[in-house]
């Protein structure tokens, strides 16, 4: 994810990477997210891995996140983004959204009286078969849509 954000906002996929220690620079990431007003949270607070793989299909959600409480705590939130199928399924189930957005697109739904755009973006995982530049282009388009409103 941080390489994608580096490409979009700084034209440098290694912007958030400490190449020497082969880690991400957490302080820079937190500052960036705060400045951009981006919040991150998992759609589940407890999961069980059914197989020893990184695939969403091998995850069982034991306890979904209380997404209503999360939205209540962020009253200006107008956009939600998922980056994997499991997160998309959990969010759709939680808010009873019948139409999942296609990857790179969004649908709208209402939470209380607030209209929310729900974006389904390509997985940032290296296992997702799409070049990082194409992933970055999809995310950049999403940010353009969000900034226009």
Of all residues in the chain, what percent carry a pLDDT higher than 70?
A: 100
Contacts of 128 (CB under 8 A, 6+ apart): 122, 135
Q: What is the pLDDT of residue 56?
A: 77
Say if CB 49 and CB 59 are below 8 A apart.
yes
Q: What is the pLDDT of residues 38-74, one digit of tens each?
A: 999 999 999 898 988 777 778 888 999 999 999 999 9
Tokens coding 118:
């729900």
Residues 35 and 54 reside in one and the same domain? no
Nearest to 60 by CA among 49, 73, 71, 44: 49
pTM for this prediction: 0.89
Residues 138 and 79 reside in one and the same domain? yes
Residues 72 and 24 reside in one and the same domain? no
Residues 53 and 99 reside in one and the same domain? yes
Say if CB 120 and CB 112 are below 8 A apart.
no
Residues 66 and 6 reside in one and the same domain? no
Q: What is the pLDDT of residues 15-33, one digit of tens each?
A: 999 999 999 999 999 999 9
Q: Which helix (H) or strand (E) holds 26?
A: helix 26-36
Residues 19 and 88 reside in one and the same domain? no
Residues 99 and 118 reside in one and the same domain? yes
Residues 16 and 59 reside in one and the same domain? no
Could you tell me the residue range of the domain that residue 82 belongs to? 41-148
Residues 82 and 33 reside in one and the same domain? no
Q: Which helix (H) or strand (E) holds 106?
A: strand 105-111
- What total number of domains does the chain contain? 2
Residues 143 and 82 reside in one and the same domain? yes
Nearest to 119 by CA among 148, 94, 149, 91: 91
């Amino acid at each position: 994810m941080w390489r994608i954000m580096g490409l979009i906002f700084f034209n440098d996929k290694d912007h958030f990477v400490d190449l020497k220690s082969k880690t991400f620079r957490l302080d820079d990431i937190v500052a960036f997210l705060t400045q951009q007003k981006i919040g991150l949270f998992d759609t589940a607070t407890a999961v069980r891995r059914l197989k020893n793989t990184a695939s969403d299909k091998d995850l069982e959600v034991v306890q979904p996140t209380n997404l209503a409480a999360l939205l209540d705590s962020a009253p200006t939130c107008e956009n939600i983004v998922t980056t994997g199928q499991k997160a998309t399924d959990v969010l759709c189930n939680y808010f009873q959204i019948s139409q999942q957005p296609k990857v790179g697109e969004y649908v709208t739904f209402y939470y209380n009286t607030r209209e929310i755009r729900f974006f389904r973006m390509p997985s940032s995982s290296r296992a997702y078969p799409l070049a990082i530049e194409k992933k970055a282009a999809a995310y950049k388009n999403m940010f353009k849509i969000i900034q226009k409103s």
